Amino acid sequence: MVSDGKRKKRDRKSKTQTTLDPTSSTINDEVFSVNNVEIVNSTAPTSAKKHENRRGRPKKRPKHSPEKPEKPPPIVNGEIGVAPPVEGVNRVVPEMDAVVKVFCVHTEPNLSLPWQRKRQYSSSSSGFVICGRRVLTNAHSVEHYTQVKLKKRGSDTKYLATVLAIGTECDIALLTVNDDEFWEGVSPVEFGELPALQDAVTVVGYPIGGDTISVTSGVVSRIEILSYVHGSTELLGLQIDAAINSGNSGGPAFNDKGECVGIAFQSLKHEDAENIGYVIPTPVIKHFIQDYERNGSYTGFPFLGIEWQKMENPDMRMAMGMKSDQKGVRIRRIDPTSSRI
C-alpha cells in the first residue's frame, strides 16, 4: 500500500514538473510533442471534410481547370469568334440591311374642287431592295405621292426616290434611287417559292413604336384568295399569325432560308380576332415585276370577265340537272368587253 501511494505521489510530482517547466529537455510528456501539434493543426481540414460529406455532393471543378481546358473560338476565313454557318439556314444580316424605311408626302385630289388639292400629310412605311437597283413597297404607301424618300438601316440620310410603277390592284409599287451612294453595301433580296401551311415566316419592317428595325415571327395559317382592300380586288394571299402593325406595310416576309416569300400589306383589326396579318405571295409579286419589265409599265392582272355562282344548294343542283358526283359553278353573266369563251 505504501508503495502504491508513493507511486501515485511520484506521478503527481512528475505532472507538476511538466506543467511548471514545459521547456525542459528531460520531459517526455506527449502534450508538447510534434505529433500532437500536427493533430491540432489538422482539425480545420477535418471539419471541412465532415462538412463536405454532410452535403452529399461532389466538389465542383473550377471553370478554368487545367484538367479541362476551355475550347478556343472557331476561326473562319481568318476571323476569330465567327461561328460556322448551319446547314439549311442563311444569315439574316444581308436581308435586314436590304430593308429600308419609306417616307412619303401625300396630296390627295379634291374631287369636289378639281382645280385644287387637299391638305398634305406625311406617312412612313417599309420597303426592301431587289435586283436591278429597285425597291419594292406597297401601293398605298405612295398613293397620291408628292415626294418619296428612302432611308437605309443605321443611316440618317434620306435619299430622294423615283416611283417607277404603281399596281393598285395588287397593292405593289416599284421605286428607284438615282444616287449611287444609296446602293453601296446593300445586297438585293432573293425571292423564294410559295410557302406551305405551318411554314415559319419572319416579317421585317419599321412599324410604329420605335425608330429602329422590327422583327416579328409566326407561321403561315392560311393560303387562299383574299380581298385586297386597297385595290378592291381578289387575288392570292397568305394569312400569317405574325404581328403586322402600321408601318409594316411594304416590308418583306422571309422564310427560314432567308428568302422573301411575300410583302406585308394589311391586317385584320377586330375585337374577336388576334394576330391576323396578310402577305402578298411571290406569284403575285413576280407577275407585277415581269409585267413592268415586259411592257415598261404596269398593265394589270387579267380578268376573265364573267360573273359566277356556287352550286352548293341541292335544289339549284337538281334544277340544273347536276348529278351527285358532279362539281362546278354556274356562269351568271359575261361582260360585253371580255374575250369569247
Encode pLDDT of 286-306 as tens digits: 999 999 999 999 999 988 888
Cell numbers placing 236: 392570292
The mean pLDDT of 234-240, rounded to a whole number, is 94
Helix (H, G, I), strand (E, B) or coil at 71: coil
Dihedral over Cα of 178, 140, 286, 193: its sign: positive
Residue 302's pLDDT is 86
What confidence score (pLDDT) does residue 270 get? 80
Q: Which residue has the higher pLDDT, 162 or 53?
A: 162
Please compute the mean of the pLDDT values over residues 122-150 and round it to a whole number.
Answer: 95
pLDDT score of 28? 46
pLDDT at 13 over 50: no
Q: With contact defined as beta carbons under 8 Å apart, do 139 and 90 qualify?
A: no
pLDDT higher than threshold 80 for residue 21: no
Lowest pLDDT segment from 46-60, 152-166, 209-223, 303-317:
46-60
Say yes or no to pLDDT of 41 above 90. Answer: no
Contact 183, 203 (CB under 8 A): no
Q: How far is CA 216 from CA 65, 75, 138, 150, 248, in A?
A: 42, 32, 19, 22, 10
**Contact (Cβ atoms closer than 8 angstroms) between residue 252 and residue 204:** yes
The pTM of this model reads: 0.68
Mean pLDDT confidence for 175-194:
93
Query: Is 181 strand, coil or helix?
Result: helix
Q: What is the pLDDT of residue 273?
A: 77
For residue 63, what pLDDT is reported? 53
pLDDT at 255: 92
Confidence of residue 203 (pLDDT cuts 50, 70, 90): very high
* Residue 249 predicted with pLDDT over 80: yes
Contact at 8 Å (CB) between 319 and 285? no
Position 239 confidence tier, pLDDT thresholds 50, 70, 90: very high
pLDDT-above-70 percentage for the chain: 72
Q: What is the pLDDT of residue 272?
A: 78
Ordered structural domains, the chain, with CATH: 93-183 (2.40.10.10), 200-295 (2.40.10.10), 307-341 (no CATH)
- Cβ neighbours, 10 Å, residue 213: 18
Using pLDDT thresholds of 50, 70 and 90, give the confidence band for residue 216: very high
Stronger pLDDT, 294 or 34, i.e. the higher one:
294
- Cα–Cα distance between 63 and 214 in angstroms, integer? 37
Q: Is the pLDDT of residue 341 over 60?
A: no
Lowest mean pLDDT among 109-113, 126-130, 258-262, 270-274: 270-274
Per-residue DSSP letters for 118-180? ---EEEEEEEEEETTTEEEE-TTTSTTEEEEEEE-TT---EEEEEEEEEETTTTEEEEEE--G
Are 136 and 171 contacting, i.e. CB atoms less than 8 angstroms apart? no
* pLDDT-wise least confident of 74-88, 146-160, 204-218: 74-88
Mean pLDDT of the residues in the chain:
80
Q: Average the pLDDT over 59-80 and give the result.
A: 54
* pLDDT at 210 (0 to 100): 83
Distance CA 266, CA 281 (A): 13
CB-neighbour burial class of residue 233 (10 A; exposed 0-12, middle 13-18, buried 19+) = middle
Q: How far apart are CA 142 and CA 150, in angstroms?
A: 12
Query: Cβ of 222: how many Cβ atoms within 10 Å?
Result: 13
Q: Enumerate the active-site residues.
A: 140, 171, 249
Helix, strand, coil shares, percent, the chain, to 5: 20, 30, 45
Q: Residue 49's pLDDT is what?
A: 45
pLDDT tens digit sequence for 308-325: 899 989 999 999 889 888
Asked whether the predicted pLDDT for residue 23 surpasses 90, the reply is no
| CA distance readout (Å), 265 to 49, 141, 214, 243, 284 | 69, 9, 16, 12, 13
> What nine digits make up the cell of 292?
413592268
* Cβ–Cβ < 8 Å for 162, 178: yes
Q: Write down the pLDDT at residue 224.
A: 94
